Amino acid sequence: MKILQLDTNHHLITEQLTANGFQVDEDTVSSYYEILEKINNYDGIILRSRIPVDRNFLEAAENLKFIARVGAGMENIDTETAKKSGILLFNAPEGNRDAVAEHVLGMLLLLMNRLRICSDEVCNGIWKREENRSDELYGKTFGIIGYGNMGKAVAKRLSGFGVRVIFHDILPDLSDEFATQVSLGELKNEADVVSLHLPLTPETLFMIDEKFISEMKKDFYFINTARGKNVKTKDLVVALKSGKIKAAALDVLEYERSSFESLDEMNEDLQFLLQSEKALVTPHIAGWSHQSKEKMAQIIVDKILKKFRKQ
């Protein structure tokens, strides 16, 4: 089988697949249209987010048997068309769930304990104690929306913090020893913290908007390590200014490019987030640890070999 790798990934992908008889070519620079001209020569592709695999791409890829994304989300792939064409889809959410969970806790504790603020103050010769009292996580209710690999990993990390963990998911009967499933209405009534762990779909596009925020009973902390377009930024900024959202930890932004490699635009709302003490913004790196790079690559290789290894 001939495989085309479209992004730079851990070297074990090429090494292990080649050792198992696959031909692995790499093209991390050609444009979408240049890839289109040769994709018909390949049985499989491995990618992250650089190239969108849309209907046009899939129609040109007449011999494609699988698409493997070294990551969790699949929104850059026309999955419906791929499935109708009999193309297998692989991804690796198991590989970066631990990195995401630790990032969530790190950002939240940084905000609630004002660590970045008071550290910057001390570095500038300012010594404030009363003004930098923290807000304890202990005793709070932590609400997770989306209880897949990422949501479950976050709940597991919280088990030693003395918090009540609840979650909402569209699938039923997912409660476990780390968290209790509730309706979205109950989550809005009870949560002191809301953390998103959702794919981007028509149903979750701009899910967190003025209406959602207004329906939250308590003022709350907000965390998003899912997808930027799960949140309407303008409404988030209004809630931060009013205090309805106490602080926001954002690893993803509405204004990212589809490749996640940079911002698509800069505007007044984004400027506010970048300058506000109530917001912490990181560059889509929640799942981006040294360990997750290797784990995701290994998971993808294992899934390909399980299906296509020569008997």
Active site residues: 227, 256, 284
User: Which two tokens mark 287?
Assistant: 């799942």
Q: What angle do CA 180, 103, 206 make, to 5 degrees?
A: 70
* b/e per residue 175-203 (b: at least 16 CB within 10 A): eeebbebbeeeebbebbbbbbbbbbbeee
In this structure, are residues 143 and 168 in contact, taking their beta carbons and an 8 Å threshold? yes
- Residue of 224, 260, 219 lying closest to 151 (CA atoms): 224
